[in-house]
């Protein structure tokens, strides 16, 4: 179609992915980054990852000079802090993508000089000319940048004027699995030789761990009745309890493997004996799902939402559910919107 070529970018089934080399992965970059449907936007995202890699590899940063005490200057100073350097590459990318929309309007201005009218016009322009998701993330990073600017004493102690703007929230996923569907899926995985994937899926269903947390479990995480680990996203401790049926499956899997079990290495492996990364696990999951449920697009992550909905329909206290999921779902409105979409059983319980 004449798209421009981008390094480390591949297309599979019409969707683009930025694929890291072993050197990149050793430096902390994700193994594979989904960029969306193949096209200019997907290739732009891959290009941003290439820019981050080039900056890391060469130790340089091709960044422009901004007027002193401007918003751009504040961002440059922030990128020199250890706090910024400690951010995950994926988080840095989110900031950089949003900054491209922010800098063209506000980069040269002092934060204290930016008004509600300025921000309202900018946000509405993003809504009209891009997508709800892009506008939402742009405003999210603007608000984070205001906090950074305040830390550098550049806001004249004003409140963030954007707080008067109500963001439109991108539609959230609401797909869910039923227990019977998950059982069919896991049986198909086991019978087709995807036994490590079957164990990961069963653990994700029982414990409500995220796919990343489930696939990175190690021998050191094992405790009676399940696993004790830290959530990769929040760093909070979570006790991942599993059913007796899943415990038996894990026992059968561990009895069948031939590789050495290193205490701090991922416990559950692919058919070839290698540890899963985000890309290889999602592809293996999709292959089995297609055989069992042709045309289905649900993911393993949807199991986390499914468990939350079933728990709330069964009158589980939100605080207990928050402990189960290792987040503050009992108080965070966004988390409830994400994991507890409108569900008939929950609504009828309220009735």
Q: Which of 182, 210, 206 is nearest to 289 (CA)?
A: 182
d(CA 28, CA 30): 6
pLDDT of 61 higher than 70:
no
pLDDT of 270 higher than 70:
yes
Q: Which of 106, 87, 92, 102 is nearest to 135 (CA)?
A: 102
How far is C-alpha 260 from the chain's CA centre? Answer: 31
Q: What is the mean pLDDT of residues 32-39?
A: 82
Q: What is the mean pLDDT of residues 270-292?
A: 90
Which of 26-30, 93-97, 100-104, 337-341 has the weakest average pLDDT? 337-341
* Reported confidence tier of residue 187, pLDDT bands at 50, 70, 90: very high
Which of 118-122, 168-172, 191-195, 247-251 has the weakest average pLDDT? 168-172
Mean of per-residue pLDDT scores for the chain: 82
Percent of the chain with pLDDT over 70: 81
Q: What is the mean pLDDT of residues 146-162?
A: 95
Which of 34-48, 155-169, 267-281 is modeled with the greatest confidence? 155-169
Which of 37-41, 163-167, 278-282, 347-351 has the weakest average pLDDT? 347-351
Residue 4: exposed, middle, or buried by beta-carbon count in 10 A (0-12, 13-18, 19+)?
exposed
pLDDT of 8 higher than 80:
yes
Across the chain, how many H-helices and E-strands are there? 16, 6
User: Residue 121 to residues 95, 106, 127, 165, 167: CA-CA distances in angstroms?
Assistant: 21, 12, 10, 11, 13
| DSSP H stretches of helix in 208-243 | 211-215
Question: 254 near 170, Cβ under 8 Å?
Answer: no
User: Residue 184 to residues 64, 211, 311: CA-CA distances in angstroms?
Assistant: 55, 18, 21
Question: Mind listing the pLDDT tens digit for each residue in 189-217?
Answer: 999 999 999 999 999 998 888 888 899 99
Question: Mind listing the pLDDT tens digit for each residue in 310-329?
Answer: 555 555 555 444 545 445 44
* Reported confidence tier of residue 173, pLDDT bands at 50, 70, 90: low
pTM for the structure as a whole: 0.57
């Amino acid at each position: 179609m004449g798209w421009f070529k981008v390094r480390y970018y591949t297309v599979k089934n019409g969707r683009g992915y930025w694929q890291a080399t072993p050197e990149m992965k050793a430096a902390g970059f994700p193994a594979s980054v989904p960029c969306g449907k193949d096209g200019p936007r997907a290739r732009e995202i891959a290009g941003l990852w290439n820019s981050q890699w080039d900056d890391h590899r060469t130790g340089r940063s091709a960044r422009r000079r901004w007027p002193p005490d401007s918003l751009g200057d504040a961002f440059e100073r922030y990128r020199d802090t250890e706090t910024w350097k400690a951010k995950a590459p994926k988080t840095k990318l989110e900031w950089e993508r949003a900054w491209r929309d922010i800098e063209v309007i506000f980069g040269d201005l002092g934060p204290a000089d930016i008004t509600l009218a300025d921000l309202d016009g900018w946000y509405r322009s993003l809504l009209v000319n891009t997508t709800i998701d892009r506008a939402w993330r742009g405003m999210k990073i603007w608000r984070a940048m205001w906090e950074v600017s305040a830390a550098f004493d550049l806001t004249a102690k004003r409140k963030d004027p954007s707080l008067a703007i109500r963001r439109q929230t991108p539609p959230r996923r609401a797909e869910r699995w039923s227990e019977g569907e998950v059982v069919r899926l896991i049986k198909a995985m086991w019978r087709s030789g995807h036994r490590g994937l079957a164990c990961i899926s069963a653990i994700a269903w029982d414990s409500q761990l995220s796919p990343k947390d489930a696939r990175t479990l190690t021998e050191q995480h094992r405790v009676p009745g399940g696993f004790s680990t830290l959530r990769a996203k929040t760093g909070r401790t979570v006790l991942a309890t599993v059913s007796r049926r899943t415990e038996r499956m894990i026992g059968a899997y561990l009895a069948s493997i031939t590789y050495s079990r290193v205490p701090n290495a991922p416990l559950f492996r692919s058919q070839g004996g290698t540890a899963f990364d985000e890309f290889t696990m999602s592809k293996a999951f999709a292959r089995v799902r297609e055989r069992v449920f042709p045309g289905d697009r649900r993911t393993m992550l949807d199991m986390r939402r499914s468990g939350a909905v079933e728990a709330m329909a069964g009158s589980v206290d939100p605080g207990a559910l928050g402990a189960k999921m290792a987040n503050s779902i009992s108080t965070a409105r966004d988390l409830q919107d994400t994991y507890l979409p409108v569900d008939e059983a929950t609504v009828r319980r309220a009735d």
